[in-house]
Chains A and B, each alone.
Chain A
Amino acid sequence: MQREAIQKILALGIPKQRDEAWTFFPVSKLRLLATQLQTLEIPATTTPLTPSAKTSVPSPFSLDLANETDIAALLPIAFGAKTLSKMIAKNAVEQGILKPRDENAHTVFEIGQGAKVSLELLENISDRDFASERLDIFVGKDAELELFSAEKGHEGAIRFRHFEIHLAEGSTVRVLDLNETSATMRLSGVVKLEGENSHFEYRSLNLNKGMASTHVHLRIEHKAPHCTSSQFVRNLLGDSAYASYDGAVIVGTHCTGTLSSQLVNTILISEDAKISVKPVLKIYHDDVECTHGNTCGTLDAESIYYLQSRGISFTDAHRILMRAFAEEVLLAHPIATGRERLQKILQESLNGLSKN
């Protein structure tokens, strides 16, 4: 499988700037990737990709190499990630953490019908510069999943995270993501709202500093009636940081009663920071309500003046406003576990953001 993944990546080609899905990514950082893959030593016995079922529920998972178009989905496999699979029983209520065992990791999650799961994805703390991760998640009927993570990538690191989420009828997935980073990161995801009345919420807060370069490439596919999806993203960009957000919502022909929203707000704290936003809507049905908004600015000068006019210092006024801006993303996340954990991390993070 590893060999096939390598072949597939080489066949797809190393991404170029002109590739639509990689327009914003600093592709020059992938220059050596082809050589690296070609010279990899592949161990003789590779782990079978289809995970051995640990419960009586058969795994629906199999990797569709032939139709894959995003190399980010293949990277962990190509670099020899061992597939870890986990099942959560029907109606179980569980809280867990997922820690990547290696710099390249692949996890398959199956969440049983009616289960309520909160999962924290721990950062890949390998000090290797390159790390990639893939998650395949199957959410059973009426199940609820909260998925949250906080990342602090260091300058020079390149991180890929790819997830594919399948939602069955009546299920809900809420993702909450906090990045405080100076690294180069790409988060890609394909979300398939396959069952009627399924819901996907994505909230992300990016506090980029230094030479950070973070890129989100999300595809949300509405494949059944009465599904909702929302994306709420806020970026606070300092120093020479860059962020891009490419979020697509694709609504199929029979998806009556679709609701979808996308909101991306960015504050540039430094004059050298940059943002690119590309909303994409592909709608093949009439009874659909899709909204999207995108704002970009600096911290409001009148607000800073107001706070200062009450004796609060310029620096504190900045910090207060940044926190208020950032916190709204976390506050919008309705599950306390992830929200409270990330609020704590946010407090500490804001002190490190600087104005340059």
Chain B
Amino acid sequence: MLSIQNLKASLNDGTQILKGINLEVKPGEIHAIMGLNGSGKSTLSKVISGHPAYHVDGGSVFLNGKDLLSMDVSARANEGFFISMQYPIEIPGVPNVEFLRMAMDSQRAYRKEPKISDEEFKTRLNSSMELLEMDERYRERGLNDGFSGGEKKRNEILQMAMLEPRISFLDETDSGLDIDALRIVANGINHIMDSSRAVILVTHYQRLLDYVKPHFVHVLHRGKIVLSGGPELALKLEELGYDWITEEA
């Protein structure tokens, strides 16, 4: 489904960040990417989504056979790639609900489908809000406007629930969540996940992986995946830290 080959990317000032990433993700799979701060996890998610701060120096990213790197940011999203940001920004003056509807209609227009009806939108929004236990005031507020860190993360997953992406790259969605919120968000992710979709999780903590169980765990170090394994790898990292890998690498 998602095939990343030898992906290299740098900042616009020339600093190399990603130094040849290879990753294959199949439908139904959950992958966890772990690694020290600054190893390039967020950069990977942004490069795949097309963030303008990065320049792709080589390699390829295909989603269901389509070349993502040749598309603009919105087309990549409309092809089914979703990124949950580590630090979602606030856009005051753009109401959450209006934004969600525009996003859904953009996706439909891309697929040459008619706009979503009031009825369907309402039903979808209600059930997604329920799934993520969102406060009713959410409907009146501006996009992430004045949201706490945890509320922003919940809103990311709510967007994921509404857009039903093929593959979601969730960047530290668990950071800043209290235990209840973590359970709600993890439950949301599991609810959206099915055998036709895939998830890549970036996390520092096993506690998320207790809820959302990964099939594969990868360690990113200085812009490269230096180790891959099963769920037991995350447990080992929790216990031993990264020294034993970074020394080898």
Given contacts A305-B52, A305-B73, A316-B106, contact A311 B163 (CB under 8 A): yes
* A324 lies within 8 A of chain B by Cβ: yes
* B93 lies within 8 A of chain A by Cβ: yes
A215 vs chain B, min Cβ distance (A): 27
Q: Mark B43-69, 1 if CB is under 8 A from A, else 0.
A: 000000111100000000000000000
Which A residues fall within an 8 A CB radius of B? Answer: 301-303, 305-314, 316-317, 320-321, 323-325, 327-328
Chain B: interface residue total (CB-CB under 8 A): 27
In the bound complex, residues from chain B placing their C-beta under 8 Å from that of A324 are 91-94, 142
Specify the chain A residue showing the minimal Cβ separation from B81.
Answer: A309
B221 vs chain A, min Cβ distance (A): 26
* B102 lies within 8 A of chain A by Cβ: yes
In the bound complex, residues from chain A placing their C-beta under 8 Å from that of B77 are 308-311
Which B residues fall within an 8 A CB radius of A? Answer: 49-52, 72-74, 77-78, 82-83, 85, 88-89, 91-94, 99, 102-103, 106-107, 110, 142, 159, 163
Q: Is the CB of A306 within 8 A of B74?
A: no
A sample of 22 inter-chain contacts (CB < 8 A) reads A305-B51, A305-B52, A306-B89, A307-B94, A308-B73, A309-B50, A309-B82, A310-B74, A310-B163, A311-B78, A311-B110, A311-B163, A312-B74, A312-B103, A314-B72, A314-B74, A316-B102, A320-B94, A324-B94, A325-B93, A328-B92, A328-B93
In the bound complex, residues from chain A placing their C-beta under 8 Å from that of B99 are 307, 310, 320
Q: Is the CB of A306 within 8 A of B85?
A: yes
B225 vs chain A, min Cβ distance (A): 23
B140 vs chain A, min Cβ distance (A): 13
Dominant secondary structure at the A interface: helix
Specify the chain A residue showing the minimal Cβ separation from B110.
Answer: A311
B200 vs chain A, min Cβ distance (A): 15
**How far apart are the CA atoms of A316 and B77 in the complex, in Å?**
15
Specify the chain A residue showing the minimal Cβ separation from B83.
Answer: A309
Given contacts A311-B106, A312-B102, contact A306 B91 (CB under 8 A): yes
In the bound complex, residues from chain B placing their C-beta under 8 Å from that of A307 are 91, 94, 99, 103
In the bound complex, residues from chain B placing their C-beta under 8 Å from that of A321 are 91, 94
**How far apart are the CA atoms of A328 and B94 in the complex, in Å?**
10
**How far apart are the CA atoms of A308 and B159 in the complex, in Å?**
13
**How far apart are the CA atoms of A305 and B52 in the complex, in Å?**
8
Which 6 pairs between the two chains have the least Cβ-Cβ distance? A324-B93, A308-B73, A310-B103, A311-B77, A311-B106, A308-B74
In the bound complex, residues from chain B placing their C-beta under 8 Å from that of A310 are 74, 77, 99, 103, 106, 159, 163
B248 vs chain A, min Cβ distance (A): 35
In the bound complex, residues from chain A placing their C-beta under 8 Å from that of B106 are 310-313, 316
| Most chain B beta-carbon contacts within 10 A, residue among A308, A309, A317, A321 | A309
Q: Is the CB of A309 within 8 A of B73?
A: yes
